Amino acid sequence: MNIDQLRSELLERISTTDQPREVLKAEEIKQLYAVIPTLDPSERGPHGKAVNELKLALESAVAEREAALEDDAIMPLDVTAPWDVNTRAPHLLPTEQGTQHPLTRELENVIDIFTRMGFEAIESRQIDDDEHMFGSLNFPENHPARDGYDTFRTEEGFIPPAHTSTMQNRILKDGKAKLEAGGQIAAVSYGRVFRNEDVDATHEHTFYQCEGVFVSRDATLGNMLGTLRSFFEVYYGQKLKIKTQPAYFPFVEPGLEFAIEKPAALGGKPGEWLEMLGCGMIHPNVLKSAGIDPTVYRGFAWGGGIERLVMLKYGIEDLRHFESAKLQFLRKFA
Ligand code: DAH
């Protein structure tokens, strides 16, 4: 067979096979090389040149064919199809159904409990300013309490909020009219917060908080403790022991830390207390900064992390799992 004939035959093979590269190993090509020593020296040059040209042509045909095969493998994707329609290319399209991230699901659960109690739910902002982060919350200028919040700052001086308390002033201002009409303010604010902290099993630079604000003419600390107890008992689905201890937050007076006894069902021993959040009666200056008269109205507020709630509920030992995107972890919540 002459080289031209061979070329068209091999090109034909390449264009019809799914394994075009295999054609380059064809016996006929090996033969073309094997005959070289038997040729008259004057024929070797032209023969070698022809064989080289053949090889180049075949290689470019193989590359072209491979590219075409790859294009074929990308099937049109019907994103509305439930599963079977897309299963022809399972390596490209996992047909498993996705689920909500555990934090999203639990956050929705938390919000549900509060909205059923009559609280309005408002998502917190992810970029804020000094006034909402500190000023309106009764942190004096240059007060060391500001340092405790490890805030990030943009070059322009904005702050990705380090707590959801940044929403308090807005909630109070928006609710003022309700108070004056004889009603009350009852709102929770939830969302992401950010702190410039080293990450370890119990610290993340990005996490979630939920904040509550209640104001009326006669709100009491007792109302607050009842509200928080009810929340935790519904969230964990059982009766709980609670306690508080004094704590300092510039925006409440008195300020408290609220703890629950770790339930036996979740591996707790009697007397094992877990701090769940900070809370207290809203400081008069905070009410004033929203134009609310603290001699007429009073309120309580609380705020705490969502991850901590979820970790206790499911016995998760390392906070970093949440942001890890590890399927092995996420599938446990499917
Ligand atoms: N914002 C506080 C923090 O992140 C938590 C907190 C404490 C919120 C007391 C409150 C409160 O509303 O009254 O550390």
At residue 277, the pLDDT reads: 98
Choice from 197, 302, 306, 308 to test ligand 1 binding pocket (greatest atom count within 8 A of CB): 302
If asked whether residues 65 and 162 sit together in one domain, one would say no
**Atom of ligand 1 at shortest range from CA of 212:** 12
**Token pair listed for 51:** 């064989």
If phi > 0 it is left, if psi is from -120 to 50 it is alpha, else beta; for residue 267 that is: left
Whole domain around residue 11: which residue ranges? 3-73
Alpha carbon of 95 to ligand 1 centroid (Å): 43
Query: Could you give the 3-state DSSP secondary structure of residue 51?
Result: helix
Q: What is the CATH number of the domain that holds 222?
A: 3.30.930.10
The residue among 187, 252, 184, 188 whose CA lies nearest residue 217 is 184
The mean of the pLDDT values for the chain is 92
If asked whether residues 220 and 306 sit together in one domain, one would say yes
Q: What average pLDDT does this structure show over 149-153?
A: 95
If asked whether residues 11 and 137 sit together in one domain, one would say no
If asked whether residues 282 and 327 sit together in one domain, one would say yes
* DSSP secondary structure letter of residue 247: -
In a domain, 78, yes or no: no
* Phi/psi of residue 237, nearest 5 degrees: 65, 30
At residue 71, the pLDDT reads: 74
Q: Say yes or no to pLDDT of 197 above 70.
A: yes
In a domain, 88, yes or no: no
Alpha carbon of 211 to ligand 1 centroid (Å): 7
Ligand 1 neighbours, Cβ below 6 Å, are: 163, 165, 211, 249, 252, 255, 278-280, 301-303
If asked whether residues 59 and 193 sit together in one domain, one would say no
If asked whether residues 262 and 132 sit together in one domain, one would say yes
Q: Which of 42-51, 165-174, 288-297 has the lowest mean pLDDT?
A: 42-51
At residue 151 the predicted structure's pLDDT band, cuts being 50, 70 and 90, is very high
Q: What average pLDDT does this structure show over 39-62?
A: 90
Question: By percentage, how much of the chain surpasses pLDDT 90?
Answer: 76
Nearest CA owner, ligand 1 atom 8:
303
CA distance 238 to 235: 8
Helix (H) or strand (E) holding 166: none
Tally of domains within the chain: 2
If asked whether residues 51 and 153 sit together in one domain, one would say no
| Domain end position, chosen among 55, 73, 91 | 73
The residues with which 280 forms a beta bridge, in sequence order, are: 255, 301
**Atom of ligand 1 at shortest range from CA of 148:** 14
In a domain, 91, yes or no: no
Question: How would you label 26-59 residue by residue, b for 16+ Cβ within 10 Å and e otherwise?
Answer: beebeebeeeeeeeeeeeeeebeeebeebeeebe
If asked whether residues 313 and 222 sit together in one domain, one would say yes
Q: Say yes or no to pLDDT of 190 above 80.
A: yes
Distances from the Cα of 284 to the Cαs of 177, 186, 189, 288, in angstroms? Answer: 18, 17, 20, 6
If asked whether residues 141 and 239 sit together in one domain, one would say yes
In a domain, 250, yes or no: yes
Alpha carbon of 244 to ligand 1 centroid (Å): 14
In a domain, 307, yes or no: yes
Whether residue 129 contacts residue 157, with contact meaning beta carbons closer than 8 Å, is answered with yes
Q: What average pLDDT does this structure show over 267-290?
A: 97
CA distance 216 to 123: 22
If asked whether residues 187 and 228 sit together in one domain, one would say yes
Whether residue 179 contacts residue 185, with contact meaning beta carbons closer than 8 Å, is answered with yes
In a domain, 81, yes or no: no
If asked whether residues 219 and 154 sit together in one domain, one would say yes
Query: Could you give the 3-state DSSP secondary structure of residue 292?
Result: coil
At residue 327, the pLDDT reads: 87
Instruction: Return the number of other C-beta atoms located less than 10 Å from residue 163's C-beta.
Output: 23
If asked whether residues 109 and 149 sit together in one domain, one would say yes
